[in-house]
Each structure stands twice: as C-alpha cells, then as structure tokens.
Amino acid sequence: MQNIYLRWPTVQEVSALSRVTVWRMERDGVFPRRRQLSANSVGWLKSEVDAWVDSRAQVTSIAYGSPGATQ
C-alpha cells in the first residue's frame, strides 16, 4: 500500500483551520503531524487527516445532538 500525502492547500480545505492553528494542534498532539517529504516540502498522511476529520464529525454530532448521535 502506498502512502498518500496531502499538501497544505488540501489540509486547510478539509480541516478549515489556519496554519497557526494546525501547528499548535500538531504541537499539542491533537492533529496529525506533518512529514518532511524533501528539504523544502512537507505533507500530511491522508489516512491520518481523514481519521482526524472523522473524529471531529463524531464530536460535533454528539455536541449538537444530531439524529442518531449517541450520548
């Protein structure tokens, strides 16, 4: 299986977070860490970002009482 990396524009689009917020969340261990792809390039593993997005959807649905959410 080949790793798929997302670049910043895609990470920003799917997370709706600023660069600084992502950096802080990475530092605090609540957002997937970026990987150094080359001397001047970083990326995030798609599978890790997808898992983070899914976990946020669950938290949001529970917090706002979406139909089918378990509390």
pTM for this predicted structure: 0.78
Tell whether the model's pLDDT for residue 24 goes beyond 60: yes
Residue range 49-56: average pLDDT?
A: 93
Percent of the chain with pLDDT over 90: 73
Mean pLDDT of the chain, nearest integer: 88
Least confident of 35-44, 49-58, 61-70: 61-70
Look up tokens 């600084």; give the residue: 20
Residue 61 has pLDDT above 80, yes or no: no
What does the alpha-carbon distance between residue 57 and residue 63 come to, in Å, rounded to a whole number?
A: 10
Contact residues for 6 (Cβ-Cβ < 8 A; gap 6+): 14, 43, 44, 45, 46, 49
